[in-house]
Amino acid sequence: MAVIWKSALLSGGLLLVGLVSGCAHLAPAPISYLSQDPAPGKLPYGKLAYVDDGQCPDGQVKRLIGGDAKKSIPRHVECVARPK
């Protein structure tokens, strides 16, 4: 019985630590803008990058989502409203 009680206390304590440490991640990280597209192979698959190179209309930036050349998945490129 004592083992179960200790286990429950430990689990509850870990849950509390996890919840408290997770609160530090609630604030979004500031968005950085690249001045040119990353070289081929430098943007990992599924990763997001914003490029402000003047190719999109005013108030918009280029959003890149990394592809995978080995799997023949191209980068996804589109102009989007500048994220805040």
Task: Work out the pLDDT band at 29, boundaries 50, 70, 90.
Answer: confident
Could you please report the per-residue DSSP string of 15-79? HHHHHHHHHTT-SPPPP-EESSPPPTTSS-TT-EEEE-SS-SPTTEEEEEE--BGGGTBPPEEEE
Domain tally for the chain? 1
- Enter the pTM of the model: 0.64
Task: Work out the pLDDT band at 30, boundaries 50, 70, 90.
Answer: confident
- Domain span including residue 23: 2-81
Q: Is 3 left (phi over 0), alpha (psi -120 to 50) or beta?
A: alpha
CA torsion 37-39-43-83 (nearest 10°) is -10
